[in-house]
């Protein structure tokens, strides 16, 4: 076969159209910089949507992957392996959890969590205790169960019938949750900061109230930390700052720093309900993914690293406030650590794609979180100079969009 020429146009020819990638094809990355097929350079404020927490081609991760790739790639769960055991040990040392289940993505980690909470209630109470409560605008993945628990109708539409026994209530509204809970509730599922829903942090008081209600109703509390976990908020997991421990926590994205891996963390007692043969995954706990993730976890759990993420939050907000004083596009800048959302003013709602395209032209990779919020989730080790340089590019992009005016 001859060498094939592929471009962005090839995507439309041969790929299922469920995505609409930007008009360039990245070919190489180093730290927070990326180059496309034409050699154009970009600063990356997306971090692969909160995944590349240590930047592109991080030497420590490359080394971990290379070393493991020469030893053992895959075994299946008929055998265990050293990287998986070391990673599980480290995760249990660092968190509330006693036990770990490995998988390959966030959706799968949540699938495991949702099956676990149902099975735990089934084992300990009975089949009638099966109701899951989650929150509007929440996002938990794209499998049928996870779009059902997720609070965004658009992701379920056309895929019905979906799993039953799931109720959605307003986020940050304790009274609404109280009214929805009963002894049939097996679990409450929440993101400490709603990510895809628009970077909406949970009020600490609300989270404490959720924990209390779960305890009153003998229901489990599941934190989906797929986007907020592994240092993103300036804490190793966001729950650590909130001072509320879940019974089950799901983590993926940054866990592998770009290598696909997910995990569900839980307590000894809950883990008993996923006994031998109840659940599984061919690739879950794959030695390559676990070797890389161990390096990620050891690097990011460092106190200084986490403190630096909190400090850089201040720099991001300062720069965004400055741009906003000039152009007035944001109603609010919010988020924690390096998960930052600029909520667009009414007249810019639904026009996030214009800002993304303008940023791309200026050499900046940017995200949206729903139709009303521009999102930034860069590598946690992005430098101050890269933040400032990226913000200069962003300012130029905003100026161009604003000069053309709103299309609302």
Using a 10 angstrom Cβ sphere, with 0-12 exposed, 13-18 middle and 19 or more buried, the burial of residue 2 is: exposed
Question: Rounded distance, CA 378 to CA 389, Å?
Answer: 13
Q: Considering the complex, state which of residue 248 and residue 358 has its C-beta at the smaller distance from ligand PLP.
A: 248
| Cross-strand partners of 166 | 132
Site map (CB under 6 A) of ligand PLP, residues 31-60, x = contact:
------------------------------
Measure the CA–CA gap between 362 and 360, rounded to whole angstroms.
Answer: 5
Q: Considering the rule CB under 6 A, would residue 227 count as an interface residue with ligand PLP?
A: yes
Among 48, 71, 61, 85, smallest CA distance to 295 is for: 61
Binding test (CB under 6 A) with ligand PLP, winner from 46, 105, 281, 324? 105
- Cα 89 from Cα 168, distance rounded (Å): 35
Query: What's the half-sphere exposure (Cβ side, CA atoms, 13 Å) at 262?
Result: 24
Closest Cα partner for 211 from 175, 180, 185, 247?
A: 247
Q: Which one is catalytic: 224, 259, 312, 355? A: 224
Q: Which CB, 146 or 273, lies closer to ligand PLP?
A: 146
Nearer to ligand PLP, 263 or 329 (CB): 263
Q: Per rule CB under 6 A, is residue 111 in the interface with ligand PLP?
A: no
Minimum distance from residue 257 beta carbon to ligand PLP (Å): 14
Binding of ligand PLP by 247 (CB under 6 A): no
> From CA 396, how far away is CA 228, in angstroms rounded?
29
Q: Give the number of C-alpha atoms closer than 13 A to the C-alpha of residue 225, restricted to the C-beta side.
A: 30
Q: Pick the catalytic residue from 114, 135, 139, 330.
A: 139
Q: Please name which of 247, 168, 170, 231 lies closest in space to residue 202, comparing C-alpha atoms.
A: 170
Active-site option among 36, 45, 223, 253: 253
Interface with ligand PLP, residue 363, by CB under 6 A? no
Report the half-sphere exposure of 362 (CA within 13 A, side-chain side): 23
Q: Which of 164, 185, 171, 183 is nearest to 117 (CA)?
A: 185
Judged by CB under 6 A, which of 114, 120, 139, 316 binds ligand PLP?
139
The footprint of ligand PLP on this chain (CB under 6 A) covers a number of residues equal to: 14
224 given a catalytic annotation:
yes
* Residue number with CB closer to ligand PLP (136 or 400): 136
Percentage helix, strand, coil for the chain under 3-state DSSP, each rounded to 5? 40, 20, 40
Window of 139-147, 159-167, 198-206, 213-221 that interacts with ligand PLP by CB under 6 A: 139-147
Q: What is the C-alpha to C-alpha distance for residues 192 and 199, in angstroms, rounded to an integer? A: 10
Question: In angstroms, what is the minimal distance from the CB of 372 to ligand PLP?
Answer: 17
Stretch that binds ligand PLP, among 28-36, 189-197, 203-211, 379-387 (CB under 6 A): 189-197
Stretch binding ligand PLP (CB under 6 A), from 37-45, 135-143, 154-162, 269-277: 135-143
Pick between residue 140 and residue 360 the one whose CB is nearest to ligand PLP.
140
Cβ distance to ligand PLP smaller for residue 263 or 391? 263
Residue 139 annotated to the active site: yes
Q: What angle do CA 339, 224, 236 make, to 5 degrees?
A: 55
The interface with ligand PLP within residues 191-210 (CB under 6 A) comprises 191, 195-196
- Contact with ligand PLP (CB under 6 A): which of 58, 110, 172, 233? 110
| Nearest residue relative to ligand PLP (C-beta) | 106
Per-residue binding letters, 323-352, with ligand PLP (x by CB under 6 A): ------------------------------
Min dist CB 378 to ligand PLP, Å, is 16
Query: Around Cβ 292, how many Cβ atoms within 10 Å?
Result: 29
Q: Quote the crossing angle between the two packed helices 287-300 and 303-327, to the nearest 10°.
A: 80
The H-or-E segment that residue 175 falls in is helix 174-180
Instruction: Pick one of 48, 107, 209, 256: the residue that binds ligand PLP (CB under 6 A).
Output: 107
Query: From the CB of 81, what's the least distance to ligand PLP, in Å?
Result: 22
In this structure, what DSSP letter does residue 254 have? Answer: G
- When the beta carbons of 199 and 323 are compared against ligand PLP, the nearer one is 199
Q: What is the 3-state secondary structure (H, E, C) of 383-398?
A: CHHHHHHHHHHHHHHH
Indicate the SS3 state at residue 136: coil
Q: Which residues are catalytic?
A: 139, 224, 253
Residues that bind ligand PLP (CB under 6 A): 105-107, 110, 139-141, 191, 195-196, 224, 226-227, 252
């Amino acid at each position: 076969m001859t060498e094939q020429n592929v471009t962005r146009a090839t995507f439309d020819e041969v790929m299922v159209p469920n995505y609409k990638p930007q008009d360039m094809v990245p070919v190489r990355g180093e730290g927070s910089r990326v180059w496309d097929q034409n050699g154009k350079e970009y600063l990356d404020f997306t971090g692969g949507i909160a995944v590349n927490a240590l930047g592109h081609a991080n030497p420590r991760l490359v080394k971990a992957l290379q070393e493991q790739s020469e030893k053992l790639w895959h075994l299946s769960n008929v055998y265990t392996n050293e990287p998986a055991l070391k990673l599980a040990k480290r995760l249990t040392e660092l968190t509330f959890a006693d036990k770990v289940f490995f998988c390959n993505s966030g959706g799968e980690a949540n699938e495991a969590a949702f099956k676990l909470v149902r099975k735990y209630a089934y084992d300990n109470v009975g089949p009638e205790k099966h109701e899951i409560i989650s929150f509007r605008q929440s996002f938990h993945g794209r499998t049928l169960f996870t779009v059902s628990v997720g609070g965004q109708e658009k992701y379920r539409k056309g895929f019905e019938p979906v799993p039953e026994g799931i109720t959605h209530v307003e986020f940050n509204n304790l009274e609404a949750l109280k009214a929805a809970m009963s002894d049939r509730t097996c679990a409450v599922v929440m993101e400490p900061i709603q990510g895809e829903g628009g970077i909406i942090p949970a009020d600490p008081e609300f989270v404490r109230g959720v924990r209390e209600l779960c305890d009153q109703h003998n229901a489990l509390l599941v934190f989906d930390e797929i986007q907020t976990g592994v240092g993103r908020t300036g804490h190793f997991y966001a729950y650590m700052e909130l001072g509320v421990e879940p019974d089950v926590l799901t983590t993926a994205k940054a866990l592998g720093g770009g290598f696909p891996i997910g995990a569900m963390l839980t307590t000894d007692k809950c883990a008993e309900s996923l006994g031998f043969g109840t659940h599984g995954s061919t690739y879950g706990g794959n030695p390559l993914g676990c070797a890389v993730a161990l390096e990620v976890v050891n690097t990011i759990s460092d106190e200084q690293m986490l403190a630096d993420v909190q400090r850089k939050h201040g720099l991001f907000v300062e720069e965004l406030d400055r741009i906003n004083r000039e152009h007035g596009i944001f109603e609010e800048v919010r988020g924690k650590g390096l998960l930052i959302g600029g909520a667009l003013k009414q007249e810019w709602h639904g026009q996030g794609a214009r800002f993304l395209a303008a940023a791309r032209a200026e050499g900046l990779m940017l995200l949206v979180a729903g139709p009303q919020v521009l999102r930034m989730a860069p590598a946690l080790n992005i430098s101050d100079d890269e933040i400032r340089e990226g913000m200069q590019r962003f300012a130029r992009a905003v100026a161009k969009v604003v000069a053309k005016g709103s299309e609302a």
